[in-house]
Amino acid sequence: MSGKPQKEYTREEVEKHHTTDDLWVIIDAKVYDLSKFKALHPGGISVLLEEDVAGRDATDAFFSLHRYEVLEKPQYQRLQTGTIIGEQGRLHGRIPGSISSVPYAEPNWLSPAYHSAYYNESHRQFQKAVRQFFDDYIYQESELREADGKRPSQAVFDKMAETNIHAMRLGPGKHLQGRTLLGGAVKPEEFDYFHELIIMQELGRVGLRGSGDGLLAGLVIGAPPLINFGKDELKARILPDLLAGKKFICLAISEAHAGSDVTGLKTTAVKSEDGKHWIINGTKKWITNGTFADYFTVGCKTEDGFTTILVERGPGLETKAIKTAYSASAGTAYITFDDVRVPVENTLGEEGAGLFVILSNFNHERFIMCCSIAQTQRRAVEECLKWVHQRTVFGKPLHSQAVVRAKLAAMITRAETCQHWLENIAYQMCQMSYKRQARLLAGPIALLKSYSTRCAQDTARDAVQLFGGRGITTTGMGKFIEHYHRTVPFDALLGGAEDVLSDLGVRQALRDMPKDTRL
């Protein structure tokens, strides 16, 4: 509502203001004076002067063309001059911190009428606190950064550190010990993969893919090898600043020569004559957060195979930004290593056993990606349900077309199946050690990710069809769908390309085929 004292009018009084110089409209029981604004209106003057708009209730016309958030912008709130006597506004847009009441907009464990075998009271309290945090501190920042391509602000990293969100995003484990998690919303020893799933889904709900990755996706995938395989001295020196959001790390595996095919990598690490240093040469490409990282978890070819090494930014290492289809806020980099010297103590895991380090890390990376992929599909469903509900075509709501409902049925089904399979995997992870997960869940997680990204791409395509031209326009009603459709391939590639992951899932199953079975 506008800060000005609000007058009350009858609808008859408003009707008198229907001329070019004196132009009022009613939107959801609020009266707006557009007399001066009309010349600045992005949709032009003529649409405002139409007979059923000028001086009239333009609520339906307005919501077929604008998102609710237009009315919340301060420059437009000022246009409100009063309200209609005896009437209350009944419409709302996004309500920060709240659970959406649109069907299927939330996973069903969040809807009061449904039940879940997986989530307990701790998860429920935690979800509330995380949603409030993201709505209060992340949502607006992400919108700004997605647009201007800058790295998220240090103030936001600091806020996330204060609540220990950086640490929680690395999953359950010793690194949480002694920390107060989100003001005590969950105890470190109670924190499990469902709490982590909740954080990732709340981030996914923000729905901005590039700035979302800018919020230290590099830490989430680059730090676990350090935590799980780094020497104590190395961890003690580096980890505290990473978890405090003061220093940044990224995972540097893929190359222009080889992406998902880890064994085809060409970057080399050779020991110095005194055996005290690695000397690294080569390049890495598509490295998230690479442009601003201080540390790089690097996969290298070594004499006895493949070794993972933690490299610190220094002489011989350079990063350049790569322009991609999503925001530069993610800090996607091309990295060159020219005789970069690294102490051998920075080796993560055993020399020559780097493949195991990287492959076990992939499980966690793919799991968290599945969390956000399931959630962003749901956000697309919510946007589409709202759109078909408020949009009128040929005199009828868009949802009166059977073909539109069929698309929605497919979208809902995909979002639900991804979520339910994901929750089962999260449950398995809660029961297994990191090693058991690597052994038993690499296949299912790979298949889930590949399935989820296929679903997401189908949903993005269907959503664009429902939104029409708005689905290819970066501002206005279809802005989320346009963004989703443009950025959905990132999920299908990062962390392992779809086909490679499907194949991995089947190969893992074949490995476990009993030798004695026959048809």
Q: Select 202 or 482, whichever has its Cβ closest to ligand HEM.
A: 482
What's the alpha-carbon Rg for the chain, to the nearest Å? 26
At residue 501, φ and ψ (nearest 5 deg) are: -70, -40
Q: Is the CB of 41 or the CB of 461 nearer to ligand HEM? A: 41
State the minimum distance, in angstroms, from the CB of residue 40 to ligand HEM.
Answer: 9
State which residue, 53 or 197, has the beta carbon closest to ligand HEM: 53
**Residue 330 in contact with residue 288, Cβ under 8 Å?**
yes
For ligand HEM, the closer of residues 40 and 519 by Cβ is 40
The residue (of 76 and 292) whose beta carbon lies closer to ligand HEM is: 76
DSSP-assigned beta bridge partners for residue 250: 296
Query: Which residue lies nearer to ligand HEM by CB, 34 or 317?
Result: 34
Contacts of 36 (CB under 8 A, 6+ apart): none
What is the Cα–Cα distance from 231 to 273, expressed in whole angstroms?
A: 23
- The least CB distance from residue 459 to ligand HEM, in Å, is 23
The CA-to-CA distance between both ends of the chain, in Å, stands at: 70
Q: How far is the CB of 12 from ligand HEM (least distance, A)?
A: 19
- Tokens in use for 80? 């409100």
Q: Which residue has the tokens 């790979």?
A: 446
Nearer to ligand HEM, 62 or 193 (CB): 62
To ligand HEM, the closest distance from the beta carbon of 36 in angstroms equals 12
Smaller CB separation from ligand HEM, 51 or 512? 51
**Sole residue written with tokens 């961890």:** 235
Q: Torsions phi, psi of 150, nearest 5? A: -80, 160
Cα torsion 265, 218, 96, 480: sign = negative
SS3 of 513, please? Answer: coil
Nearer residue to ligand HEM within complex by CB, 24 or 119 = 24
List contacts with ligand HEM (CB under 6 A): 25, 27, 32, 34, 41-43, 47-48, 53, 58, 61-62, 65-66, 70, 76, 79, 475-476
Nearest-CB residue for ligand HEM: 43
- The least CB distance from residue 62 to ligand HEM, in Å, is 5
Least distance between ligand HEM and beta carbon 216 (Å):
31
| Nearest distance in Å: CB 50, ligand HEM | 7
DSSP letter assigned to residue 340:
E
Q: What is the DSSP letter of 100?
A: P
Which among 104, 72, 99 has a CA at the least distance from the CA of 379? Answer: 104
Closest CA to 206 of 103, 292, 130: 130
Least distance in angstroms from the C-beta of 89 to ligand HEM = 13
Q: With contact defined as beta carbons under 8 Å apart, do 19 and 73 qualify?
A: no
Quick one: which H or E segment has residue 384? Answer: helix 354-390
For residue 470, the minimal CB distance to ligand HEM (Å) is 6
